[in-house]
Structure 1
Amino acid sequence: MKKNVITATKEKVLFIWRIPSLKVLFLINTILGFSTSFFIPYSSLFGIDEVGMSNAAFGIFMTVLALGGVTISSSLAKLSDTKLSRRYLLILTTFAGVIGYILFAYLRNYFALSVTAFFLLGASAAAVPQLWAYARDALKEAAIPAEDTPFIMNIFRMFFALAWTVGPALGAWLLILVDFKGLFLFVAAGYLLAFLTVLFLLKEVSKQKIVNQEALSVKKSIIKPHIFANLAAALLLSTATSIHMLNVPQFVTKVLHGTEMDVGLIFSVPPIFEVPMMIGLGLLATRMDVALLVKIGFVTAFTYFLLFNFVTEPWQIYPLQILSAAQVSITSGIAISYFQDFMPEAPGTATTLYMNTTQIGSTVGYLLFGLISEFINYDHMIAVYTLSAGLACVFIVLYGKERRIQTTAQTNAPGL
């Protein structure tokens, strides 16, 4: 039985590897994964400790960064589904990342950093959703069966996770050796490599024709109860995750008295487990209801945050990161296909709707972290985002059911 599973997995992976354009897409995805893994885990250390921002000012700064990503990526998403090619937009957004992070290496003025964050880093934030939407188009152009899409997209997400297995630890090492200036120059180099890869190796892919322009109507999609419930859950979990991401470095270094290397190792543990989990979950997604898997991912996230409340030593976080890997494998992997299915005729808009929802959740998280941490300790912040994750579970488990019911009804319909 085990042999059959291993053989089936090998065949699936080889099948994916033969799909046109995917080798280049995997490479770009990995490069962008490395680039983000160098900065995100240390953003609070950069703002609060390096630049000297207050907690509240840092929360506002991260909010500006998030709003730039939401505003610019939303505009680009609609253009990508109608007028401009995704390849052109990938060239534009990766180049914005190059310039943005070079400026971050040298700027320490709060206003200048905020302007750079909104326009340049905001534009670069659109690179990942456009890349994933391009991947969806590439699968359709290659006539890949719809039931295989969740597995392939999870493998695609896995390459992003692979970069995070060593990225944060390497980022910590770079931070010790060359400080934030050198770290940001390395991030800029990553975006430059992605830019050159897109420019010279990535070909144009035909986009799915939009039969009905209403497919692009985000407003009409959001007001549907089951979509609204799922988006609310995604927003709340993203809020919890962003507070957690910013809080962990401060919690480990200031409450648990750990080091920057401890922080790097903590962020490096989950991706090690994400890789095999994504493969296994991707296979499961071809055989069972994706909506059920997504709900399990949300409950796992809540459990992870809840257990974090009992941590008293840095080493105790390491085993908990296995739970983090499990929830990320679902909520950041399978969830992509799950939300793309809400608007199958407009994958760019659907992907960006999901990404923007999580980005808005991150914005709320940044504000809450900055404002609340002014008044309570970092260890008490854990209870705040645990509550947010709990509410996310309530929304997706109790109110996000219509999609599953509709799928069941279609399956049982005569002639299907």
Structure 2
Amino acid sequence: MPARRLTFIFATFLLVSFLIGIAGALQAPTLSLFLTHEVQVRPLWVGMFYTVNALAGIAISFLLANYSDKQGDRRKLLFLCMLMAIGNSLVFAFSRDYLLLISVGVLLAAMGNAAMPQLFALAREYADRSAHEVVMFSSMMRATLSLAWVLGPPISFMLALNYGFTLMYLCAAAVFVFSALLVWFFLPSVTRIPQPIDKPVVHVSAWKNRDVRLLFFASLLMWTCNIMYIIDMPLYITAEMGLPEGLAGLLMGAAAGMEIPVMLLAGYLVKTTGKHRLMLCAAAFGVLFYLGLILFPFKAALMVLQLFNAIFIGIIAGIGMLYFQDLMPGRAGSATTLFTNSISTGAILAGMLQGAIVENFGHYQVYCVATGLAVVALLLMMRVKNA
């Protein structure tokens, strides 16, 4: 294939990754505020929404991953997921009914959220086929996601607080429409190659590989901490610290901005340092981040601590998925989905824990629990072997 064509396709992968990230970053940061102020539900029901959303996401993404790994055209499946994401944005734009949002909205969101693992799986297969450097390309895609999260959260809070949630969700729908057009017209369909007999395949549902299990639970706990923070932080800084709501968007954007060089550096260091050591480093910085939130609950410290947060998330987001793929050769879609489902399962725990803790004890205690979970994740990562 001509080099110019290869460059164009890889650039399209990066652009689609960026646009999906932008659309997600428009919706996710303000979701807890949307449910609290627009839908007007209690903290427990806010957490329950995240839990139900994650449960639906796990079930649907596993079904889609198994289908795409065996026989599906991953590009067409990715396009279908984009259409569902558009529908989800429209439901949230025009409905304030909690039951409708937690049923129809969650179902559409679950299918829409499966777009990202399918995009990364398609990118890995295409990179493998074209003999492109997989680790660096994946790190570049992750970096575009972080760039999206630099821009997305401040824009999200600006639109929601100044122009309303309806306009914010319509903007997200428009971004998804453009992304879907790029997927349909410019991304390639990759023909599957039968897996060699002498290459072991790990089935996601088997749990026979001890290291896959340990990595899954370590990843699950790290994402639980992160999602508890994302759910609670916009409410915590306004309700208990008396800080402006827009600061939450700046904090998320600052962390995402610092994640970009972290991801690129991790992609560069992975050959010499190894995925295991990098993941241990991420878990350690996660412990320091949440411990810092407990010890220094004021504005200046929140900004400084975003560096620790960026190292924590930058590494597990960029390297964690590749670690799963290395441990599960021949099942790129299922391995990628297992990684994203560790995020979804983390969201289940995060939703239940955050809602219950805030309802009974308050926001500050959320970060005490997060610190303990981060320590457990670090201990689990110490037991995972190199892929």
What SS class does the counterpart of residue 164 from structure 2 fall into?
A: helix
For residues 276-301 of structure 1, give each alpha carbon's deviation from its aligned partner in whole angstroms, at most 9, with x where no partner exists. 22222211112221111111111111
Match of 1:72 among 44, 52, 60: 60
Q: How far apart, CA to CA, are the structure 2 residues paired with 1:43 and 1:387?
A: 25
Partner of 1:134: 122
Whether 1:27 aligns to 2:15 is: yes
Find the counterpart in structure 1 of residue 363 from structure 2: 378
Is the partner of 1:373 in helix, strand or coil? helix
How much does 1:380 deviate?
A: 1.8
Q: In structure 1, how many angstroms separate the alpha carbons of the residues matched to 2:191 and 2:21?
A: 25
Measured after TM superposition, the shift of residue 218 of structure 1 is 1.5
Matched, 1:237 2:222: yes
Determine helix, strand or coil for the equivalent of 1:345: coil
> What is the aligned partner in structure 2 of residue 366 from structure 1?
351
More divergent stretch after superposition (354-363 vs 307-316): 307-316
Regions of 4+ moved over 6 Å: none
- Partner Cα distance (2:278, 2:98) in 1: 42
User: How far apart in 1 are the matches of 2:77 and 2:217?
Assistant: 28
* 2:384 counterpart residue number: 400
Aligned-pair CA distance for 1:20: 6.0
Amino acid at match of 1:251: Y
Work out the CA distance in 2 between the residues paired with 1:118 and 1:280. Answer: 36
Q: Tell me the distance in 2 between the aligned counterparts of 1:362 and 1:64.
A: 9
8 Å contact from structure 1 (residues 137, 208) kept in 2: no
Distance 1:160 1:17 in 2: 23
Structure 2 counterpart SS, 1:209: coil
Q: 1:99 Cα deviation (Å)? A: 0.8
Per the alignment, residue 307 of structure 2 pairs with 322
Aligned residues: 384
The alpha carbon displacement at 1:18 in A equals 5.0
Q: Is the 8 A contact 1:208 1:345 kept in 2?
A: no
Query: CA 1:377/1:354 → structure 2, altered by over 3 Å: closer, same or farther?
Result: same
What pairs up with 1:280-359 in 2 under 5 angstroms?
A: 280-359=265-344
Does residue 255 in structure 1 map to residue 243 in structure 2?
Answer: no
**Aligned residue number for residue 217 of structure 1:** 203
Question: CA deviation digits over 1:191-248, x for unaligned, max 9?
Answer: 111111111111212234234698362122x232222111110111111111111111
Identify which of 239, 244, 268 aligns with 2:253: 268
Pick the aligned partner of 1:173 from 158, 172, 179: 158
Q: Specify which of 91, 98, 105 is matched with residue 103 of structure 1.
A: 91
Which sections of structure 2, spanning at least 5 residues, go unmatched?
none
State the one-letter code of the partner of 1:387.
G
Residue aligned with 1:29, SS:
helix
TM-score (norm 1): 0.89
Distance 1:345 1:58 in 2: 39
- Contact preservation (8 Å) 1:94, 1:194: yes
Give the Cα separation in 2 of the matches to 1:394 and 1:229. Answer: 10
**Alpha carbons 2:202, 2:209 under 8 Å: kept:** no
For structure 1, the 5+ residue unaligned runs are 1-14, 408-416
Does the 8 A contact of 1:67 with 1:118 survive in 2?
no
AA aligned opposite 2:384: G
Alignment match, 1:194? 179
Tell me the SS of whatever aligns to 2:18. helix
Distance in 2 (alpha carbons) for counterparts of 1:326 and 1:17: 34
Who is 1:183 aligned against?
A: 168
Q: CA deviation at 1:22?
A: 1.2
Query: Take 1:318 and 1:151, find their aligned partners in 2: how far apart are those partners?
Result: 29
Alignment-mate amino acid for residue 133 of structure 1: A
CA RMSD of aligned residues (A): 1.8
Residue type of the alignment partner of 2:141? F
Does the CA-based 8 Å contact 2:48-2:351 persist in structure 1?
yes
Secondary structure at the aligned position of 1:215 is classed as coil
**Counterparts of 1:141 and 1:214, CA distance in 2:** 19
8 Å Cα contact 1:78-1:216 kept in structure 2: no
8 Å CA contact retained: 1:150, 1:286: no
Deviation at residue 16 of structure 1 after TM alignment: 12
Q: What do residues 62-93 of structure 1 show as CA deviations (whole Å, max 9, x unaligned)?
A: 11111111111110001110111110111100
Q: State the partner residue of 2:80.
A: 92
Structure 2 partner of 1:161:
146
Letter in 2 for 1:107: S
Deviations 1:144-173 (A, max 9, x none): 3xxx42222111100111111111111111
Q: Which moved more, 1:304-313 or 1:323-332?
A: 304-313
Q: Which residue number corresponds to residue 389 of structure 1?
A: 374
User: Secondary structure of 2:327's match?
Assistant: coil
Query: Cα gap change, 1:191/1:388 in structure 2, threshold over 3 Å: closer, same or farther?
Result: same
Q: In structure 2, do the counterparts of structure 1 residues 300 and 379 end up closer, same or farther at CA, with 3 Å as the change threshold?
A: same
Q: Which letter maps to 1:363?
A: I
Q: Is the 8 A contact 2:14 2:140 kept in 1?
A: no
Deviations 1:32-75 (A, max 9, x none): 11011111111111112221111111111111111111111110
